[in-house]
Structure 1
Amino acid sequence: MTVQPSLTEPDPASAAEAGAPPDRLMRHRGFVLFWIARVLSSLGYQIAAVAIGWHVYAKTGSAYDLGLIGLAQFVPMVLLTFVVGHVADRFDRRRIVMLCQVIEAATLAVVTLGVIEDWLTVPAIFAAVAVLGAARSFEHPTFSALLPALLPVDLLSRALAISSSAMQTATIIGPSVGGLLYALGAGLPLGLAAFCLAAASVATALIKVERAAPSREPITFHSVFSGVLFIRSRPLILGTISLDLFAVLLGGITALLPIFARDILDTGPWGLGLLRSAPAVGAIAMSVVLMRLSMQSRVGLKMFAAVITFGLATIVFSLSSNLVLSLVALAIMGAADNVSVVIRNSLVLLSTPDEMRGRVNAVNSLFIGTSNQLGEFESGMVAGLIGAVPAGVIGGVGTVLVALIWMKLFPAVRRAETLTG
């Protein structure tokens, strides 16, 4: 079972290049360095997340402390969103990303030393995680805003698909590598994570941006919050971002996977590992498809189809008591989500002037982070009240309903024909 083929169609304008665009992309030095930096950064983050989580739990045995790790990352993102956007539009984006990666590498190096020598306390780890969260709150939206300055418009959607595959690959490999290395000591995965971030900063430093640097607009109340005002004034962008917010808020079931693995599918930790990896596997498979195909017609309808597919797959997963069917449903969810992500990011980036991309991407990142965090909270609360299966079904149904309602509320999104709106 796969996502419907109608979600992607060949681009007639580039038919002569069938099979060539990915090679053309990978011959582009700036994009290759961008891709390497993003892979290394994501890999380092994923390895560090597993190692820090396990280390904190080993020291305290408290699930509450594990929750505080997530909170320590989330709070800086919320507090810094509007500052991040303005900085990304005012200064050299490449240097901002590089500086963030250097800070993350240095922070992880200190954590590694503290863990090895056993002088790092749990509160100090929370403080380090907060620094990492603050740095990533600058790095992620700025990195996203940097990509359009490296490539021509016709290659952007494929570049986003390849970039997304890098993130998904790191999501699969990072936790596994972190877990395996942790058996040899907590310092080993943390040290590797620091090395990955340091190497990412070197790759970023080597990127050459051919277009002019962002203009230094004076800092005013209006300029800081202009990202929100810009999104409100553009129904296409507002509808696209808010669709993702509410779909993930209702349909996110990641927090419930341990319940399904143990109580419904009757598997052990190995089963949970498979469940957590399945969406990323589906996303990578779809990324391979999107590298070869272009979405240059009816992109709005395709995005709605992807969200509806995501909701239906969520319902199937929630009702399944068979591990294989559950894995297939999760893989389809990952594939559908990747289609939605590529279209959403392309619409947002290409519908936003370059001088506004930092601020708009900062708000977009806040929406995504909020939906992920609150989605897990919502799923857990509903599951606690009525059970995991009904909670998953309700979430899937809610996702489908949101997509149908948004088709009515935001006709600009529904009617979007190309990735430029």
Structure 2
Amino acid sequence: MSNPPPPESSSLRHFPLFWRFWFARVCLTSGFQVLTVAIGWQVYSLTHSALDLGLVGLLQFVPRVLLVLVTGTVADRYDRRRIVAVSMAVQALVAALLLMGSRHWGFATSRELIFALSVLIGVCRAFDMPTMQALLPNVVPPQLLAPAIAAAASANEAATILAPALGGFLYAIGAAFTYGLDLAIYLIGMVLVATLNARRSESVREKPSFDSLLVGVRFIWSRPDVLGAISLDLFAVLLGGATALLPIYAGEILHTGPWGLGLLRSAPAVGALAMSAWLMRYPVRHRVGYVMFAAVAVFGLATIVFGLSEHFALSLCALVVLGASDMISVVIRSTFIQLETPDEMRGRVSAVNSLFIGASNQLGEFESGITAAAFGTVPAVVLGGVGTLVVVGLWMRWFPALAQRDTLQRTR
């Protein structure tokens, strides 16, 4: 088993193993993003229901809640590479089934089938998200973890820029092309991660018990700054997220087709990728609490602008700003967790963190669908942005130490 380069190396360029991990993460995220675009447009084409769009997000989120304690323990006890590889293999199977349904090879894709496969996708994401997060510290040494987290986040954003746009363009030609692309992406990623020559983590030796399952929850609860950062992101994106409603904006407000939906889904990642590149070169070193709260406030304002916009270019710009501001919170939160968590606990802590991420994304999509069905699409998005600003004000009052925190890692 190869070891990482010596500590005196100060650049990720000296770590080819990291870039293999980076490409595997690109495949993992790309596969999910292509599926999201295709499923979202197909559900809306079948039902024209904002509530059904929200239900897709809810069905993907529920398995994360039910499995959060189990997935973390699995990530700490077993080979993390194999866990991710199996998850990607199952998601490749989902893409294959949707490909068959789109071509009417024995059956046709239905609303109920998409809902059932959304649950299966949620189960896979419940395992692969925390496991992939916990795997990163096994690839790079601690002194490069902060820039590695920003670089790994850039993998997500690079995939989120290209994959939805490409998936949307291909869907305009035919759904089978989109699902075929998705199948290929997952198979390539599965091979990359399965053959990743990373250091093995220290496996948990204790027998599984309810007490050991709660380690991740207790760890986060015992660190107010980490709890505040995670919960701030949870409620801000939960209220301000409007991604579930993008098919409605593309079809009825901005009057574009699936290609426009792909660009809208890619736009936040453009801003996030640019911000992650900036943070790789110029990481936030001081006044991190203030920077994070300011970024979340900008996220809320960008959500309001997007909600009110009736011009495609302005909507894209608002989503770019939204993605850039969100990336700041992502990097700060992730660095908190990875720097302060022992390796033998990373799976369980990452599982809890991924639950918060899933809640802010998938549960946020359900919340958007519910509010849009009740009040209308535009009011739902605008109210969500206003709610994000309210959350920022409340969290600055409830977590004053986080707001005043100067550095990412306290001096021990």
- Asked if Structure 1 and Structure 2 have the same fold, meaning a TM-score greater than 0.5 normalized by the shorter chain, the answer is yes
Q: 2-side partners of 1:408 and 1:358: how far apart?
A: 31
Partner of 1:215: 204
Deviation at 1:161? 2.0
Alignment of 1:13-412 (within 5 A): 24-54=11-41, 60-61=46-47, 63=49, 68-113=55-100, 115-116=102-103, 118-120=105-107, 122=110, 123-182=112-171, 185-210=174-199, 212-257=201-246, 267-269=255-257, 272-320=261-309, 322-412=311-401
Tell me whether 362-371 or 254-263 shows the greater mean CA deviation. 254-263
8 Å CA contact retained: 1:145, 1:357? yes
Per-residue CA distance 1:243-268 (angstroms, 9 max, x = gap): 1111112222334445556666x543
- Structure 2: how far apart are the matches of 1:216 and 1:187? 46
> Which letter does structure 2 place at the counterpart of 1:195?
A
Contact kept, 8 Å, 2:69 with 2:348, in 1: the verdict is yes
1:13-52 C-alpha deviation (Å, 9 max, x unpaired) = xxxx9xx96xx31431221111010111211222233344
User: Secondary structure, in 3 states, of the residue corresponding to 1:199?
Assistant: helix
- Is the Cα–Cα contact under 8 Å of residues 89 and 216 in structure 1 kept in the other structure? no
Distance 1:320 1:279 in 2: 15
For residues 173-195 of structure 1, what are the alpha-carbon distances to aligned partners after superposition, in whole Å with 9 as ceiling and x for unaligned?
A: 22232233345544433233222
In 1: Cα distance, 2:307 partner to 2:47 partner = 30
Gaps of 5+ in 2: 1-7
User: Taking structure 1 as reference, are residues 95 and 161 closer, same or farther at Cα in structure 2, changes over 3 Å only?
Assistant: same
Q: Shift of residue 204 of structure 1? A: 1.0
Matching residue of 1:12: none
Q: Distance in 2 between matches of 1:191 and 1:272?
A: 19
Q: Is the partner of 2:319 in helix, strand or coil? A: helix
1:61 deviates by: 4.4
The amino acid across from 2:256 in the alignment is G
AA partner of residue 187 (structure 2)? A
Q: CA shift at 1:57, angstroms?
A: 6.0
> Using a 3 Å threshold, how does the CA distance of structure 1 residues 249 and 53 change in structure 2: closer, same or farther?
closer
Q: 1:392/1:72 Cα in 2 relative to 1: closer, same or farther (>3 Å)? A: closer
Stretch moving more, 372-381 or 247-256: 372-381
Q: Distance between the aligned counterparts of 1:126 and 1:255, measured in 2?
A: 15
Which shifted more, 202-211 or 227-236?
202-211
User: Residue 250 of structure 1 contacts residue 395 of structure 1 at CA under 8 Å; is this kept in 2?
Assistant: yes
Cα deviation for residue 78 of structure 1 reads 2.0
Q: Distance in 2 between matches of 1:263 and 1:168?
A: 27
Displacement of 1:217: 2.4
Report the CA distance between 1:304 and its aligned residue: 1.2
Contact 2:57 2:366 in 1 (8 A): no
Cα deviation, residue 150, structure 1: 1.4
The partner residue of 1:414 within 403, 407, 410 is 403
**How far off is 1:128 after superposition?**
3.7
Contact 1:44–1:197 (Cα < 8 Å) also in 2: yes
* TM-score, normalised with respect to structure 1: 0.84
Which is worse superposed, 68-77 or 386-395?
386-395
Distance, in Å, in 2 between the alignment partners of 1:258 and 1:108 is 20
The one-letter amino acid of 2:61's match is F
Larger CA deviation: 113-122 vs 221-230: 113-122
Q: Counterpart of 2:272 in structure 1: which amino acid?
A: A
C-alpha displacement at 1:325, in angstroms? 3.7
Cα deviation, residue 143, structure 1: 0.2
Q: Structure 1 counterpart of 2:83, which letter?
A: I
1:303–1:191 distance in 2 versus 1, CA, 3 Å: same
Compute the displacement of 1:384 (Å). 4.9
CA gap of 1:389–1:105, structure 2 versus 1, over 3 A, is closer
Q: Name the amino acid aligned to 2:134.
A: A
Asked if 1 retains the 8 angstrom alpha-carbon contact of 2:26 and 2:155, the reply is yes
Distance 2:174 2:308 in 1: 40
Superposed CA RMSD in Å reads 2.9
Which stretch shifts more, 49-58 or 83-92?
Answer: 49-58
What is the rounded CA distance, in whole Å, between the counterparts of 1:392 and 1:55 in structure 2?
Answer: 22
Gaps of 5+ in 1: 1-16
Residues paired across the two proteins, number: 399
CA distance in 2 between partners of 1:111 and 1:201 (Å): 19
Relative to structure 1, the CA distance from residue 250 to residue 48 in structure 2 (aligned partners, 3 Å threshold; closer, same or farther) is closer
How far apart in 2 are the matches of 1:137 and 1:105? 16
**How far 1:153 moved relative to its partner?**
2.6
Distance 1:189 1:315, change over 3 A: closer
Q: Distance between the aligned counterparts of 1:112 and 1:29, measured in 2?
A: 35
> Is the Cα–Cα contact under 8 Å of residues 149 and 210 in structure 1 kept in the other structure?
yes
Find the aligned partners of 2:98 and 2:387 in 1 and give their Cα distance: 42
8 Å Cα contact 1:282/1:332 also seen in 2: yes
Confirm or deny: 8 A CA contact 2:68 2:351 kept in the other structure.
yes
